[in-house]
Amino acid sequence: MDNKQIQMMVCPECNGKLEYDKKSSELICESCQLAFPVKDGIPVMLIEEARKMDDK
């Protein structure tokens, strides 16, 4: 993902900053402890699709 795109995006739950984890291909919200998947270069920003960070 492009760094500019990531900077413009916010968590849909808390409107917090997101970090891109290239290894897992996820956008991470540290505040909510949610990881949003990026599929084929497209972030899936649905709370229902997010993984809780304590889940593996």
Q: What is the pTM of this model?
A: 0.89
How are beta strands 26-29 and 51-52 bridged, if at all? unpaired
Q: What is the pLDDT of residue 56?
A: 53
The CA distance from 41 to 44, in Å, is: 10
Q: What is the pLDDT of residues 3-22, one digit of tens each?
A: 898 899 999 999 999 999 99
How is the chain split into domains, by residue range?
3-52
> What is the reported pLDDT for 14?
97
Q: How confident is the model at residue 52 (pLDDT cuts 50, 70, 90)?
A: very high
Q: Beta strand 42-43 with 34-39: parallel, antiparallel or unpaired?
A: antiparallel
| Positive/negative CA dihedral, 29, 34, 39, 42 | negative
CATH class of residue range 3-52: mainly beta
